[in-house]
């Protein structure tokens, strides 16, 4: 589709969806004007085509204007991309999602972990949500050291016994498994760049911040959760205060240039949205097939006990067996239980509504905590897009 610059503040829309772009820009500018956001992007794909790509605000409180190429930190939205990487390797028969991780990572078997599988990790039931002791930024930046420390952890429960969201460890567990099973032994950032970003022609999906990308980067502000939680609280066990998902830490250049794949990643809405559009289209978009349609069907199945309470998340977590959250209980993504989504600390989100072949991504840089549905911008944006497309 031909794209054009729309009148007024913000960027993009296709000629056929100018009304949608205008309405979304009004929402973004309203929130920015009220001090609830600093910069923001929304992109949506329908039936494989980019129908809207809007941006508003600034990259920092005093910074340059946001446009469609601006890069935002999307935190755990990137967990969905990591899951895709694992499924690519599985479809190539280079790893077995239901086989022991220790088959290709022998050190991981220590302390009774020989039976833990990638399926347990994808479903956040592996029993190792805790970060290694005495975390600091230097340790966080050391991929090999972190992988070794996680391999040496003792599980806090038996694999598959319960749900306990793996906020940070998820990234090293999946990333190291992909690296070890890749014939080229590529680091996870290189693997994703070559096996996901390149085939999908993405201009904005990166796992490390580099000097050439930094002029596009938005600065974080706000806070996704309280900073004074007890050290033994589930959230602090999974994401210790020394490496908390807070602007003073994740605005640091040394953190941004490190490989912290479950939480520190950079994207614009149209790029992360296209990954989810690939899922909504059954594994293929623009002639590039990343996953089989059978794989998409399988990874959309609910995990056993998917409505069980999760101490990290503070309630039930409806998860698929393939590494995604599932719709049905998240108003923003619509009512369908087989909708796939990933949500990041502070309010970024991407989803794939498979029934309607709709994918949406929302990125921003002013972090906030839980929002009731009546004031949640994700809900408002999702409702506007579905109304314009006349879908449920």
pLDDT tens, 4-33? 333 333 334 444 677 999 999 999 999 999
Residue 384 inside a domain? The answer is: no
pLDDT digits (tens, 9 = 90+) for 114-170: 999 999 999 999 999 999 999 999 999 999 999 999 999 999 999 999 999 999 999
Cβ count within 10 A of residue 358: 25
- What is the per-residue DSSP string for 287-333? TEE-S-HHHHHHHTSBPTTTTSEETTTTEE--BBTTS-EESSS-GGG
DSSP 103: G
- Mean residue pLDDT across the chain: 93
| Cα Rg of the chain, angstroms | 20
Residue 132 inside a domain? The answer is: yes
Weakly modelled stretches of the chain, pLDDT under 50: 1-15
Query: Can you give the pLDDT at residue 2?
Result: 30
Rounded Cα gap, residues 302 and 110, in angstroms: 30
| Antiparallel, parallel or unpaired: β 366-367 and 221-222 | parallel
pLDDT digits (tens, 9 = 90+) for 39-55: 999 999 999 999 999 99
CATH number of the domain bearing residue 191: 3.40.710.10
Contacts of 211 by beta carbon, 8 Å cutoff, 6+ apart: none
Residue 347 inside a domain? The answer is: no
* Reported pTM: 0.94
Residue 95 inside a domain? The answer is: yes
Rounded Cα gap, residues 344 and 350, in angstroms: 9
Cβ count within 10 A of residue 382: 24
Query: Can you give the pLDDT at residue 329?
Result: 83
Residue 8 inside a domain? The answer is: no
What is the domain extent for residue 90?
A: 82-197
Query: Can you give the pLDDT at residue 373?
Result: 64
Residue 319 inside a domain? The answer is: no
Query: Can you give the pLDDT at residue 372?
Result: 66
Q: How many domains does the chain have?
A: 1
Residue 34 inside a domain? The answer is: no
Query: Can you give the pLDDT at residue 305?
Result: 83
């Amino acid at each position: 589709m031909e794209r054009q610059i729309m009148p007024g503040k913000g960027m993009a829309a296709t000629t056929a969806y100018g009304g949608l772009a205008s309405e979304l820009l009004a929402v973004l500018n309203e929130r920015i004007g009220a001090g609830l956001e600093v910069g923001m992007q929304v992109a949506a794909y329908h039936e494989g085509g980019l129908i809207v790509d809007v941006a508003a605000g600034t990259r920092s409180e005093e910074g340059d204007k946001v446009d469609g190429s601006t890069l935002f930190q999307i935190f755990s939205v990137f967990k969905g991309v990591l899951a895709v990487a694992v499924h690519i390797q599985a479809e190539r028969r280079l790893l077995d999602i239901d086989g022991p991780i220790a088959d290709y990572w022998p050190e991981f078997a220590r302390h009774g972990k020989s039976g833990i599988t990638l399926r347990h990790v994808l479903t956040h039931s592996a029993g190792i949500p805790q970060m290694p002791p005495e975390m600091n930024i230097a340790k966080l930046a050391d991929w090999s050291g972190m992988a070794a420390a996680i391999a040496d952890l003792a599980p806090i429960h038996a694999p598959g016994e319960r749900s306990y969201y793996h906020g940070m460890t998820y990234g090293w567990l999946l990333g190291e498994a992909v690296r070890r099973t890749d014939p080229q032994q590529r680091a996870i950032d290189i693997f994703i760049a070559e096996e996901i970003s390149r085939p999908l022609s993405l201009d904005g999906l990166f796992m490390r911040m580099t000097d050439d990308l930094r002029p596009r980067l938005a600065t974080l502000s706000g806070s996704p959760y309280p900073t004074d939680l007890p050290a033994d609280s589930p959230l602090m066990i999974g994401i210790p205060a020394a490496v908390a998902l807070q602007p003073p830490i994740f605005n640091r250049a040394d953190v941004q240039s490190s490989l912290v794949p479950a939480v520190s990643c950079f994207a614009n809405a149209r790029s992360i949205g296209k990954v989810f559009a690939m899922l909504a289209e059954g594994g293929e978009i623009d002639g590039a097939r990343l996953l089989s349609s059978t794989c998409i069907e399988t990874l959309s199945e609910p995990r056993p006990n998917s409505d069980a309470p999760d101490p990290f998340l503070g309630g039930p977590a409806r998860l698929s067996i393939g590494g995604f959250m599932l719709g049905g209980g998240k108003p923003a993504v619509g009512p369908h239980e087989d909708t796939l989504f990933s949500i990041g600390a502070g309010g970024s989100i991407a989803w794939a509504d498979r029934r309607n072949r709709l994918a949406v991504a929302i990125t921003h840089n002013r972090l906030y905590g839980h929002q009731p549905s009546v004031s949640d911008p994700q809900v408002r944006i999702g409702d506007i897009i579905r109304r314009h497309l006349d879908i449920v």
